[in-house]
Amino acid sequence: MNPEDRLTELLHSHADSYRPGDGREAIQHRARVLRRTRAARRIAVPLLAAAVVGGFAIAATNSGPSRHVTVNMPVLSTTVPQAPKTTTSVSAAPTTTTPATTSTTTGPGAASNALAAYLAAHPDAVAHSGVVYEGGRPVAVVGLEPNPAGRSVVVLDLSSARATVLAQLPLPAPYYDLIAKSPIADGDVTGDGMADFLVIVSAADNQPGVVVSDDGGSWRLVPAAPITGGAVDPANVYVGRSPSFSGAWLQSTYNDCIPYCAAGHTSTLTWLYDRGGRYFRSVPSSALLQTGYYSDGPTGTPRYDLIISRPGGAAPGSSVSGWLFFIYQDGRVSVLGHFTASARGDGTMTFVTDTTSQPFPFAYQSPGSGQAGGIPIDAGQSFAGTYSSGTITLAGCQTYLYWANAAHSPIAESCTFGFRGPSVP
């Protein structure tokens, strides 16, 4: 219908509303109003539709982090990524803005940011570790010193954007100063496969340290047995002098102060972790796992032997490698396999057989594959052991060493190997 016809229709439809005194000017004014109303409707409808669509778009781009909003329209479904926002909590007090809830899984960057935020909020933080992943969870240790008698170590969980305190461990008397900006080292010196931390303090002429560990299921300061022997005091957590983590070991220096400390002899102490007592005890160097040749029987007799080597001269406690073989009474040798092993600070070891391109380290005559006890151990087999004072003991070796089983020999070989020297006799 053209505009003129529509106007005529409107005039007729509204004729009853005109009063007798309205006249021509009133009629023309009414017609102009109706014409403007018609034009406004034609413009308003598309504007309203655009506003509705735009309203959805604005709402979609201002909702919470890491979520997506799907806008369902009659024809089109659009997924719009959302920018971060904050949520406003409303109470009787003035409104406050708080961060939106964050995910409990964060990457290394987010964990570092959480640690940095904690340090910025705690001016009494004197020293701290880096971010360490323990069982997949990012953690860190921070030394706090709010006052001279109130020093403590806190363990932080950094698995969300805001650090949470897993444990706060007060440092006992004497109240040594924390060393400002001294990095807190991490490693595994308790042999549980989880992170331990070393916090260094200042004690006048030397720098002791304390070990922070969750071995046993809860975070604590690990005590150390007196060097001279005696009962373990749970409050004696300071190890000195100048402790450090060396591979799987806790090591420190010791001054015998003979004839007096300034002229005394300084030596290195290694501390083994006693898993039963849950403390450290110092041991002489002879108690450490030495590289070289081990045997479970006297020279000239049938016996099992081990060769332990430490590739590249790595620090004590690092992975070692070696060979396991059997020497018959006539001198022939059955090579049972090559292995790698890790010697932990608690005196335990784990051996894993593998394949290697390295040749057996000395010439020998094999008895042949048909000889009893000469069957190699398959690669990938794992078995446990312990070490102490120049010996290595293979746990339950009767199950995989033929001649160590009493059912095969009236004089069964032992599962304990003694140190014979740095090279094969």
Confidence of residue 46 (pLDDT cuts 50, 70, 90): very low
Whether pLDDT at 157 is above 90: yes
Confidence of residue 61 (pLDDT cuts 50, 70, 90): very low
Confidence of residue 357 (pLDDT cuts 50, 70, 90): confident
Range with the largest mean pLDDT of 8-17, 139-148, 253-262, 266-275: 139-148
Alpha-carbon distance of 255 to 355, in angstroms, equals: 45
Structure confidence at residue 4 (pLDDT): 52
Structure confidence at residue 159 (pLDDT): 93
- Calculate mean pLDDT across residues 109-125: 95
Confidence of residue 86 (pLDDT cuts 50, 70, 90): very low
Q: How many CB atoms lie within 10 A of CB 199?
A: 28
Q: Which two tokens stand for residue 76?
A: 């089109």
- Calculate mean pLDDT across residues 81-92: 33
Confidence of residue 411 (pLDDT cuts 50, 70, 90): low
Hey, which residues does 315 pair with through a beta bridge?
A: none
pLDDT in tens, 372-407: 677 788 999 999 998 877 889 999 888 888 888 888
CA proximity to 226, closest of 266, 280, 267, 285: 280
Structure confidence at residue 169 (pLDDT): 96
Tell which wins on pLDDT, 23 or 391. Answer: 391
- Calculate mean pLDDT across residues 97-103: 31
Alpha-carbon distance of 143 to 168, in angstroms, equals: 10
Torsion of the alpha carbons at 25, 30, 31 and 35, rounded to the nearest 10 = 140
- Calculate mean pLDDT across residues 217-226: 94
Whether pLDDT at 66 is above 50: no
- Calculate mean pLDDT across residues 126-153: 93
Tell which wins on pLDDT, 107 or 326. Answer: 326
Confidence of residue 332 (pLDDT cuts 50, 70, 90): confident
Q: How many CA atoms lie within 13 A of 213 on its CB side?
A: 23
Hey, which residues does 70 pair with through a beta bridge?
A: 79
Whether pLDDT at 240 is above 50: yes
- Calculate mean pLDDT across residues 19-34: 45
- Calculate mean pLDDT across residues 25-45: 46
Alpha-carbon distance of 417 to 294, in angstroms, equals: 5
Structure confidence at residue 314 (pLDDT): 47
Confidence of residue 93 (pLDDT cuts 50, 70, 90): very low
Confidence of residue 23 (pLDDT cuts 50, 70, 90): very low
State the average pLDDT for the chain: 74
Alpha-carbon distance of 322 to 107, in angstroms, equals: 38
Whether pLDDT at 325 is above 70: yes
**b (16+ CB within 10 A) / e for 208-246:** bbbbbbbbeeebbbbbbbeeeeeeeeeeebbbbbebbbb
Tell which wins on pLDDT, 3 or 290. Answer: 290
Query: What value, to the nearest 5°, has the Cα angle with vertex 314 and ends 309 and 317?
Result: 80
Confidence of residue 264 (pLDDT cuts 50, 70, 90): confident
Question: What's the chain look like in SS3?
Answer: CCHHHHHHHHHHHCHHHCCCCCHHHHHHHHHHHHHHHHHHHHHHHHHHHHHHHHHHHHHHCCCCCCCEEEEECCCCEEEEECCCCEEEECCCCCCEEEECCCCCCCCHHHHHHHHHHHHHHCCCEEEECCCEEECCEEEEEEEECCCCCCCEEEEEECCCCCCEEEEEEECCCCCCEECCCCCCEEECCCCCCCCEEEEEEEECCECCEEEEECCCCCCEECCECCCCCCCCCCCCCCECCCCEEECCEEEEEEECCCCCHHHCCEEEEEEEEECCCCEEEEECHHHCCCCEEEECCCCCCCEEEEEEECHHHCCCCCEEEEEEEEECCCCCEEEEEEEEEEECCCCEEEEEEECCCCCCCCCCCCCCCCCCCCCCCCCCCEEEEEEECCEEEECCHHHCCHHHCCCCCCCCCCCEEEEEECCCC
- Calculate mean pLDDT across residues 21-35: 45
CA proximity to 411, closest of 309, 289, 311, 329: 329
- Calculate mean pLDDT across residues 230-247: 89
Integer CA distances (angstroms), 414 to 103, 181, 294, 388, 406, in order: 55, 52, 12, 16, 10
Whether pLDDT at 174 is above 70: yes
Alpha-carbon distance of 79 to 73, in angstroms, equals: 11
Whether pLDDT at 300 is above 60: yes
Confidence of residue 255 (pLDDT cuts 50, 70, 90): confident
Range with the largest mean pLDDT of 11-25, 77-91, 350-364: 350-364
Structure confidence at residue 21 (pLDDT): 43
Whether pLDDT at 197 is above 70: yes
